[in-house]
Chains A and B, each alone.
Chain A
Amino acid sequence: QVQLVESGGGVVQPGRSLRLSCAASGFTFSTYGMHWVRQAPGKGLEWVAVIWYDGSKKYYIDSVKGRFTISRDNSKNMLYLQMNSLRVEDTAVYYCARYCSGGSCSINGALDIWGQGTMVTVSS
């Protein structure tokens, strides 16, 4: 079945780095764009970053620009989020989610499949 599984979360000190992974299965990963969305404890959803299906374009929320890098390996059906210079305010559950863009999509643009999330805690 269509599935996204995140991993790589944990507890890290401020200023340190962490890399999140998202394993995709059950669909043609290389034809879908991918997002990272986060949710701080008890708070709402916040979009973090997006990468085009072929990796050609990437966008970030201002608060992570220069610190986070989204990437993908279509040969391995994997999405990544490299998080450097972590801050306490980056503490959240991080979700990966897919979207389709283009005329062949049944659902165009909306985030239709989400992973279960991985928790990142930044604390000294």
Chain B
Amino acid sequence: AIQLTQSPSSLSASVGDRVTIACRASQGISSALAWFQQKPGKAPKLLIYDASSLESGVPSRFSGSGSGTDFTLTISSLQPEDFATYYCQQFNNYPLTFGGGTKVEIK
């Protein structure tokens, strides 16, 4: 199975900060990567698909980049509603796999 390693596992940031989360795959997955946001008690929400495509309705402060094995999710200016846990997920091969998550907390 393809392993996805997210870093950091948690971070503290302030409103307005630029935040970057990394996701590394154990083997190449082309651009078959998605990013999700999850808030406590809620289902994951798709933010980015195909590594860099913004899901409809998602604010433009969210962006994704990368291909192959190294990917990044960037929040250009953190807003209060962005405090949540973020997961990367590959859909290049079965079994699908998720990264371990990055919890973004208020500094």
Residues of A within 8 A of B (CB): 35, 37, 44-47, 50, 59-62, 95, 99, 107-112, 114-117
> Which 3 residue pairs across A and B have the least CB separation, nearest first?
A110-B49, A47-B96, A114-B43
Chain A residues, Cβ within 8 Å of B46: 107, 110-112
Instruction: Check: B89 CB closer than 8 A to any chain A CB.
Output: yes
B92 to chain A, nearest CB (A): 8
Give bound CA distance, A4 to B104, whole Å: 27
> Contact size class for B?
20 to 34
Task: Say yes or no for B66: interface residue by CB 8 A criterion.
Answer: no
Nearest CB on A from B84, distance (A): 13
* Contact residue among A45, A59, A108, A116 (Cβ-Cβ distance under 8 Å from B89): A45
Inter-chain pairs besides A45-B87, A107-B55, 13 sampled, C-beta below 8 Å? A37-B44, A44-B99, A61-B95, A107-B50, A107-B53, A110-B49, A110-B91, A111-B34, A111-B44, A111-B89, A112-B55, A114-B45, A115-B43
In the assembly, what is the distance between CA of A28 and CA of B81, in Å? 32
Q: With A107-B49, A110-B49 as given contacts, are A47 and B43 in contact (CB-CB < 8 Å)?
A: no
- A interface footprint on B51-72 (CB within 8 Å = 1, 0 otherwise): 0010100000000000000000
Residue in B closest to A110 when the chains form the complex, CB atoms: B49
| A95-B43 contact given A45-B89, A110-B50, CB 8 Å threshold | yes
A109 near B91: Cβ-Cβ < 8 Å = yes
Measured in the bound complex, the distance between the Cα atoms of B34 and A110 in whole Å is: 7
Q: Which residues of B contact A111 (CB under 8 A)?
A: 34, 44, 46, 89, 91
Chain A residues lying within 8 Å of B94, measured Cβ to Cβ, are 50, 59
Cβ 8 A contact of A99, one of B36, B44, B91, B101: B91
